[in-house]
A and B are shown apart, each in its own frame.
Chain A
Amino acid sequence: MRLKEIQRTAHPAWSPAPHHPICLALGTSAQQLDASFNTTAALEIFQVDFADPSLGMKLKGSLPTSNRLHSLVWVNFGEGEDGLGGRLIGGSDNGTVTVYSPEAIVTSGAEAIIGQSDKHTGPVRALDFNPFQSNLLASGANDSEIYIWDLNNFSNPMTPGTKSQPPEDISVVSWNRQVQHILASANPSGKAVVWDLRKNEPIIKISDHSNRMHCSGMLWHPEVATQLVLASEDDRMPVIQMWDLRFATSPLKVLENHTRGLLSIAWSQADPELLLSSAKDNRILCWNPNTGEVIYELPTTNQWCFDIQWCPRNPALLSAASFDGWISVYSVMGGSLEAQQQSRADQISSSFDTMDPFGTGQVLPPLQVPQPTPQTTLVAPLKKPPKWVRRPVGASFAFGGKLITFESPKAPVQSPQPVPVPRQVFVSQVTTETELLQRSRELQAALQSGSLSDYCQAKIHKAPTDSEQDIWRFLLVNFEDEARVKFLRLLGFSKEDLERKISTCLGKNLQPNGHGVDANDLAEKIQLLSTQVNKEKKISFPIPVSAGTLLYAPVVLDADGLISQALLVGNFEGAVDLCLNEGRYAEAILLAISGGQELLQKTQQTYLEKQRNSISMLISSVVTQNWGDIVQSCALDNWKEALAALLTYAHPKEFAHLCETLGSRLEGERTEKRCLQACLCYICSGNIEKLVECWALQRDCSSPLVLEDLVEKMMVLRKSVERLRNSEVAVQSPVLADKLTHYAGLLASQGSLATALSYLPDTSDQTLLQTGLDVTCLSPVCSGFSPLQPFQPQQQPMSAGLGGPGLSAFPTGPAMPGSSLSGHPLPPFSAPGGLPTMPSPGPPPSGFTPTSLPSGPMPLSYQQPGAPVGMYPPGGSHLHSQGPPAGPPSGPYPPLGPGYPQGGPGAPAVKSFSAPSVAPPPTGTDHDAIHVLLPKCHPMPGIVALPVDRGSLRSVGPYRLTGDRTIKGMGCNLGHRPSVYQLLIGRQISNPCVSLQLLQALPAERVEQREIPAEHMVLKQTFDSLVQRCQLAAQDPQTKRKLDDASKRLGYLYDKLREHSLSNNILGGLHEISRCVAGQNYQRGLEVHTAVVTSSNFSEIQAFMPILKVVMTIANKLGV
C-alpha cells in the first residue's frame, strides 16, 4: 500500500531508527534528468507524518548542493533524537564525499556542510556506515577505491587494505551486521571481497564461476554473520545469490523470479526473512531468503526502481525511488487507499499541464506518465506475517487475581530442523495483599470457630492506637455477660468504686449489696414522709378552731397562711404551687405525694424546670425517664456520662435508639475523635450499619487494609448480635452490602474465592462476582458450563418472591436499629441467675404494688428484640409457629426475684420516682415485630410484580439473541450503581434472562403442568427428603443458603420430569443416584452423578445436576 509519494529524481535516505519523527532525506540523483531537464541539485529533508492521511510529505528543509549524488546515507552520529540529528553523507558524481548536518539544513542552511573530502577520484557509488560504531563510514568509488572514514576525524580516511587488482568500480560496500571489523565490497564484474579491518587485508573473495554476476547489490545477513547475498544486474542472470562464507565455493541458494536484472536489494533488519529486490522488470519483490519464496510483490509503477530501502524505524515501511522521478513510501501490510491513488493521478496531470516543459502546448505523451496500476484491487499483505507483528509474549489478568502468561522460548537460530519447543501457558495466582489475606484468614477462623472473645482479646492486644483498643474492648464486651455493666466500666464508671466513694463520703460503711440504695430504707422514708404530712394536717386543724380570729390574717399577708388555708380546704394543688413559689421544694414535693400521682409528676416537672444546676439535668432525666433529652442536648464532651446513663437506665427498647441518637450527634461533629466515640455508641447499641457508616466517614475504605479493619469489626459485631439474637443477621443495608461486596471482590481478586463467597451479601449487585464465585467454588463438575448457568444466581430472592415467601429474601430482616442490642438482657433471662445486667429500673422485690410496675409486659419487651429474628427464619414459612428462639423460660419471670436486688443499677431513690413515671411498658408483640419488618419488605412486592413481560424474557433466551430490543432491555437494568431497588430489579431481570426453565417454573405455566409421572415420583421424594434432612442438620449459613437454593433448582428437575424431556440415560442415572441417596451412599451417588454429567448433553441437565452434586456433597459432609 502506497502511503506517501513525492516527485523527485533523487536518492532517498531514511532517518536512523532512534530518530523520531521519521524523516526522509532526498539528494538529487546524478546521471538522471527529470522531465524538466532541471540540472540544479539539492538535499531536501521531508517529514513523513503518518497521522496525515494524505500522500504528501512536509518539507522541513532544503539545501542547494553543488553536486548531484550517487549515494546518500543518514548516520545516527552525534546528538539528537528529534528526527534531525545525526549526519547525512553524500557521495557525489565527482568523487566528493560530503558530510551534512540535517539539523542545519532544516534550521538555516548555513554551515550545513560539516566536512567534505575529494579523496575519491570517481563517482562515489557506495556508502555504508558501521552498525556498531556509527562514526565509521565506508565508501567505494572507481578504481577499486575503498576508504574508511571516521566522522570524528574526517580528513584522513583509512583503507581496508591494498586495492584489489585489476582496478574496478566499487558498486557496493557493506559492513557485517554481527562482527564490526568485517567489511565487504562488490563490483559490477561480480566479485565480492570480504575485508578484515583488524588485519587490514581481504580475507575471502566470492566469485561465481558463471562470470555473469554483475553485482548491483550486496548485503550481509542481519543475524547470521557468515551469510551475505549478492544481486545481479545482468539481464541474463537476474538472480540473488545467497552465500555462506563457510562454504564459499558456490552460492548456498539462488533466488530466481525476476525476469530482468536487479537494481537494488534491501534486507529488513526487523525480520531477516524479508528481503526486498527491485529489478528492471519493473517489479519489486519481497523474498523469504530462507525458503527462496516470493512472499510479496509490491504494486508498483511501470518503471524501474533503482533504489529500495526499508525504513529503519518503522519496519513495515519501505521507500522506492524510480527512474520516472517518483519516490514512494509503501507499507507491506496491505490495505487499500483508493482515494489517495486518485489524488495522485490528478496531481500528475495537473503538474504536467502547468509545466509544459517543451513549450509545445501539448500534454506530454503517455510514455512519460506513470500510470497508476489498477489500485482498486486490494493490496494483500505479506504472505508471511512479519516478525514484528508476531507478539511473542503476553500477560493477561483473569478473574480471581489469576495472571495468564506465555512467552516464546528462544529457539536456536541456526538449527536446521525446527526443534519442537514446549508451548506453554502459565496460570499464576497474584496476591498483593498478603496482610489482608492473613488477617482475613484469622477473622474467618475466628468466625467459624466462634472463639471471638479470643479474637477480640488478640485484637486489643495488638491494637496500634488507644481508640482502636477501645473499640475492640467494646466489641469484646458484647460477647460477655453483664454487657452493660462492663460497658459502664469501660466508660470509667465502676459501680464498686462508686459505692466505696459514696460510703466514704457518708462516713458509713455500707455493705456492698449491688445497688446504691436500699429499697426498704427508701420505702420507710417515704412512709415516714407520709406520716409527717398527716401529722402536719393534724396539727394544723386545731388552728382555725382555737384561733378563729386569726383565721384570715395569714391569708392576706403570709404565704404560710395561704398554704395552710389551701391545705385546709384540701387544695393540694394550690398549696404545692405556693410552696414552689416560695422555693419550699421539699414541702412542695411532700405535699404533692399526698396530692396524688398527677400532682406529683407535675411538681417534679416544675421543680426540675426551676432548678438549674449541674446535676439537675441528670436528675431530671432519671426521674422523668426522658433520656431523649439527655442525648439530644448534653454537651458532647459529656458523651461518656450520657452513654453511661443510658447503659444504666435506658429501657431496653429505647436503649439502642438512644445510643444511636447520641452516636449520630457525635458523628455529626465529623472529627475523627467524635467519630470514634460515635462508633463506641453504635457498638453498644449493636448497630452494624451505623458503625460501618461512621467508620467509613473518617477513612478511605478503598484501601484494602482499612477495609479489612472495618470488616473485622463489622463481622465481630454482627456475630455478637447474632449470638444475642441467636440467629443470623442479614446484611441488607446498602452501605454494608457495598463494603462487603467490595471486600469480597478484594478477596476474590487475591484468589481467596471461597472466603469471598462467604462475605458476598445476598443483595449484592455483583451478580457476576457472585456467580463467578459460585461457578468456581461451588460446582466443580461443570466443565462445559452452559451460558445459562452463570446467570442463575444462587440466591434468587425475587423469583422466589412471586409466591409470597419473598420474605425469605430477608430471612432475618429486621431493622437493626430498631431492635439492636436491646437484646442484651436476653441471655440473663434465659439463664436464670445471671441477671446483673438487668438494666432498667425494674420492679423491686417487695414494697410496691404490682400495678405500679411494668412487670406484666416486661418480658415481652425482652423477648421482642429476638422475636423478629425468630419470626422469619430462612424458610420464611413458619411465621407464627415458631416461638422466639430464646423465649421466656417456663416460669413467667423466675429470674426476676433473685435478679432484681442486684440488678438495678440505679439508686433506690430513683426507683421510688420511677415507678409511677415509667413509660408505658413495652408492648412488643409478634405483630409489632411484623410491623417493623414490613416497611423493609415493601419494595419487594412491587418489584416482583415488575416488569419483565414474559415474551421478552423468552426472546432473551440464552441461545437466541433476538432483536435489539431484547438485548438493550436487559442491558438497561444492569450495571449501574446499586440502589436497593435497582439491585433487586437487576437481579430479577438477570434471572429470567437466563433460564427458560425458570420460566417454566413460573406459577402461571405451572398450573397447566402435568404431574410428575408416577414412576419418577420416587426421585422427587428422595431428593426433597434429602434436602430437608440436610436443612435440619446444616449449621452454617452458607450451607443453608445452598440448600435453599437446592430446593428451588430441583424444581427444574421436576419440571423436566413432568415434561418427559429427559433422556433415558439421564433418567436411569437419576434413579441410580436416588437409590444411592436412599441408601445414604453418597460417594457412590457422586460417582454416578459424574458419569451422568460426562455422558450427557450438558445443556439438558445443567439446571439441576450441579445442585444435586452440591446437595449430595453436603449430605455426605453432614452425614445425614
Chain B
Amino acid sequence: MVSVINTVDTSHEDMIHDAQMDYYGTRLATCSSDRSVKIFDVKNGGQILVADLRGHEGPVWQVAWAHPMYGNILASCSYDRKVIIWKEENGTWDKMYEYTGHDSSVNSVCWGPYDFGLILACGSSDGAISLVTCSGDQQWDIKKISNAHTIGCNAVSWAPSVVPGSLIDQPSGQKPNFIKRFVSGGCDNLVKLWKEEDGQWKEDQKLEAHSDWVRDVGWAPSIGLPTSTIASCSQDGRVFIWTCDDLSGNTWTAKLLHKFNDVVWHVSWSVTGNILAVSGGDNKVTLWKESADGQWACISDVNKGQGAVSSIADGATNEQ
C-alpha cells in the first residue's frame, strides 16, 4: 500500500532532478534544473521552505544528506562541474566547501556510511570518480579515480559498513578496520565495484550485464547478513539485482529484476533493504520485493506520484 501523506509544492522553476529526505525523514532536499537546491521542513505533513540554496551555475542533479552525526550537511552536484557541500549552522545554510575538480557534469554524489567518516563520492561525466573526505578543520582531502567509466560515471553508491571477516564482535576498544567499498555505474554500460586498499582506491569488480548506460546503482543496506546486494538500472530498461554471498566478495551473480520498456532512471532501497523502488522514463514508479523463493515481484505501482495505488492486475492500464 502506498498512500500519499504529503505533497510538497517546491516552486522550482524547472525540472526536479532529485528529492531526498534527511536521515530521520524530517527534512526534504530537492534540486532542479533551475539551478537551485531547496530544503523543506516536512515534519508532521508540513512543507516549510527552510532554505533556497543558490550557488550552482547549472542544473543540479543530485543532493545527498550526510550522516546526521556530522551535523546538518548536504551535498549537491551539478552540470556546472561543481560539487557544493552545504552546512547548516545556527539555522543558516551556507557553503561549507566547493569542489571543482571535475571536468564535466557531476552526476552523482553519495555520502559514505557513518563509520567511514565524512566522505563523499562524486561521479562525473568526465569519467572520473572523486572521493572527497573531510579531514577536519575545513580540510578536505581529495582522491580521484581517473577514467573510472570511460565516457562518464552516472551513479555512485556506498556499501554499508561491515567489519571485515566477521559478523563477530570485535574486541571492544579495538578499532575495527572498516573496508570502504562503493559501487558505480557508467556510460560504458558497466557496474564497477571499488575498494580502498592501503589508502588507494582500486577497482574490485567489474559487473557486466547491461547493454546501455547504467543510469543508477544502489547498494542495499545491510540487514546483518553476509550477503551483499546491489541494484543497477540502465538505459536499456533492465534492472539487475547483484548478489554476493561469499565473504571474499568476489563472486557476484546477476538476476534480472525486470525489463522495462523505457529507460530506468533510478533505483532506491528501503531503509530495511527489502523493498526496491524503481523509477523509469515513463514517469512510473514501481516497488519490488523479493519473495521467499528468491524471485523479485512487483508489489505495487505508484501511479504518477498522485497517490492512486493500483494493484499489479490493473497496473497495465495505467501505463502511459
Chain A interface (Cβ < 8 Å from any Cβ of B): 1, 3, 20-21, 50-53, 313-314, 316-317, 331, 333-336, 378-379, 381, 385, 389-408, 410, 420, 422-432, 434, 702-703, 745-746, 749, 768, 771-772, 775-776, 780, 783-787, 790-791, 947, 958-964, 966-979, 981-982, 985, 990, 993-994, 1097-1099
Contacts and interface: CB of A to CB of B under 8 A. Distances in A.
A390 B172 CA distance: 47
Interface in B125-146: 125-127, 134-137
B30 A430 contact: no
Nearest to B8: A425
Contacts of B126: 1, 333-336
A1066 to B, nearest CB: 14
Given A50-B150, A396-B266, A428 B4 contact: yes
A428 B270 CA distance: 13
Cβ-closest 7 pairs across A and B:
A398-B21, A335-B126, A787-B71, A334-B104, A399-B25, A427-B6, A972-B175
Contacts of A985: 172-173
B272 interface: yes
Given A392-B281, A784-B88, A961 B118 contact: yes
A963 B5 contact: no
Contact of A333 (B89, B118, B151, B172): B151
Contact of B152 (A316, A408, A427, A977): A316
B20 to A, nearest CB: 6
A432 B288 CA distance: 11
Given A20-B211, A977-B224, A1098 B299 contact: no
A428 B58 contact: no
A376 B141 CA distance: 25
A742 to B, nearest CB: 9
A297 to B, nearest CB: 16
B176 A972 contact: yes
Contact of A430 (B79, B270, B281, B306): B270
B167 interface: yes
A408 B16 contact: yes
Contacts of A53: 147, 150
B98 interface: no
Interface stretch (B38-46, B239-247, B249-257, B310-318): B38-46
B105 A424 contact: no
Interface string B271-307: 1100101111101110101001000000110101111
B227 interface: no
A395 B266 contact: yes
Contact of A393 (B10, B72, B151, B283): B283
Contacts of A745: 272
A975 B67 CA distance: 13
B292 to A, nearest CB: 8
A202 to B, nearest CB: 37
Nearest to B277: A395
A644 B16 CA distance: 69
A775 B24 contact: yes
A1098 B104 CA distance: 39
Contact of B279 (A405, A775, A776, A785): A405
B105 A334 contact: yes
Given A20-B211, A336-B103, A426 B7 contact: yes
Contacts of A432: 1, 275, 287, 289, 299
A961 B21 contact: no
B265 A398 contact: no
A404 B19 contact: yes
A393 B81 CA distance: 22
Contacts of B178: 971
A610 to B, nearest CB: 52
Nearest to A383: B58
Contacts of B170: 976
Contacts of B176: 972, 976
Contacts of B224: 977
B283 A394 contact: no
A727 B135 CA distance: 49
Contacts of A780: 43-44
A214 B1 CA distance: 62
B198 interface: no
A428 B212 contact: no
B276 to A, nearest CB: 9
Contacts of A968: 117, 175
Interface string B86-108: 00111100000000000111010
Given A399-B21, A427-B28, A407 B305 contact: yes
Interface of B: 1-26, 28, 30, 32-33, 41-44, 48, 50, 58-59, 61, 68-72, 79, 81, 88-91, 103-105, 107, 113-118, 125-127, 134-137, 147, 150-152, 161, 163, 167-170, 172-176, 178, 187-190, 211-213, 215, 223-224, 236, 265-266, 268-272, 275, 277-281, 283-285, 287, 289, 292, 299-300, 302, 304-307
Contacts of B189: 20, 50-51
Contacts of A958: 71
B25 A400 contact: yes
Contact of A391 (B125, B147, B213, B266): B266
Given A335-B127, A402-B21, A790-B24, A408 B114 contact: no
A977 B61 contact: no
Contacts of A378: 103
B272 A746 contact: yes
A390 B10 contact: no
A783 B50 contact: yes
A50 B6 CA distance: 43
Contacts of A425: 7-8, 10, 16, 19, 28, 30
B30 A381 contact: no
Choose among B9, B16, B189 the residue with the greatest number of A CB atoms under 10 Å from its CB: B16
Contact of A971 (B22, B59, B117, B305): B117
A1094 B136 CA distance: 31
Contacts of B18: 391, 394, 396
Nearest to B141: A964
Given A335-B126, A430-B270, A975-B161, 20 more contacts: A334-B125, A385-B105, A391-B18, A392-B281, A393-B280, A398-B21, A399-B21, A399-B23, A402-B21, A404-B19, A426-B306, A426-B307, A427-B42, A428-B4, A428-B302, A776-B26, A784-B88, A784-B91, A790-B23, A976-B169
A703 B291 CA distance: 11
Contacts of B137: 960-963
Contacts of A964: 117, 135-136
Contacts of B278: 395
A424 B170 CA distance: 46
B19 A423 contact: no
B19 A333 contact: no
A385 B270 contact: no
A963 B117 CA distance: 11
A974 B10 contact: no
Contact of A426 (B24, B187, B305): B305
Nearest to B169: A979
Given A394-B17, A407-B304, A972-B175, A314 B5 contact: no
B75 to A, nearest CB: 15
A436 to B, nearest CB: 12
B69 A962 contact: no
A314 B279 contact: no
9 contacts: A3-B150, A51-B188, A381-B125, A389-B61, A405-B19, A426-B4, A428-B3, A784-B41, A784-B91
Nearest to A978: B169
B28 A1099 contact: no
A126 B44 CA distance: 64
A790 B65 CA distance: 14
Choose among B4, B41, B271 the residue with the greatest number of A CB atoms under 10 Å from its CB: B271
A389 B125 contact: yes
A1031 B288 CA distance: 46
A427 B8 CA distance: 8
Contacts of B70: 787, 961
